[in-house]
Amino acid sequence: MKLIEITLISIGLAMDAFAVATCKGLAMKKMSWKKAIIIAMYFGVFQAIMPVLGYCLGINFQEKITNIDHWIAFILLNAIGINMIKETFNNNDDDKDDNVDFKTMVILAIATSIDALAIGITFAFLKCNIYISAVCIGIITFILSIIGVKIGNVFGCKYEKKAQILGGVILSVLGLKILLEHLKIIH
């Protein structure tokens, strides 16, 4: 997998964290860079760890399913992408406070990084360098989370749904690309 593809996947995965970070920023009366960095650290670290865990799971099953790994990647990426798009229509406001205590942030970090676990399984099937991928995912999530807090504080949740839809579309398109490449329809 090329760096551009890993970067696009990283951006797609980061959109859930970006959306929650935007709401955290919205809940802040005054922008707090300390809270923004704490939020970004939780999201970035969890987004980096989860694909490694998924990769470890996937590598154990890789030899048993190499003939269908491209279909699994396609299905997982599209399921994640479609779910992200579907979530934009859910009016759940549970994460609209600026609390950054351990319990709150761990729950949000796990919730926004479950998709990264599935991506890690996909990376195992595609024989990606998991370390480069995990670092890329973590850094991009960290950066986008800080940006999300700032945007949320300045503009509110105006762009939250658009960002989440964009992330879902990116993941779905990459899933289709992987399938078409393995079926030798595109190169």
**Average pLDDT over every residue of 81-95:** 71
The span from the CA of 149 to the CA of 145, in Å, is 6
**Average pLDDT over every residue of 17-43:** 89
Single out the residue of 10, 8, 86, 81 nearest to residue 51, CA to CA: 10
More confidently predicted of 8 and 155: 8
**Average pLDDT over every residue of 127-139:** 95
179 within 8 A of 95, measured Cβ to Cβ: no
Give percent above pLDDT 90 in the chain. Answer: 34
Handedness of CA 19, 56, 123, 58 (dihedral sign): negative
DSSP run (H or E) holding 165: helix 160-182
18 within 8 A of 148, measured Cβ to Cβ: yes
**Would you state the pLDDT for residue 92?**
58
**Would you state the pLDDT for residue 127?**
85
67 within 8 A of 129, measured Cβ to Cβ: no
**Would you state the pLDDT for residue 161?**
75
Q: What's the mean pLDDT when you consider all of the chain?
A: 85
**Average pLDDT over every residue of 9-23:** 89
**Average pLDDT over every residue of 90-98:** 59
Residue 95 banded pLDDT, cuts 50, 70, 90? very low
Query: 12-38 b/e with 16+ CB inside 10 Å = b?
Result: bbbbbbbbbbbbbbbbbeeebeebbbb
More confidently predicted of 73 and 48: 48
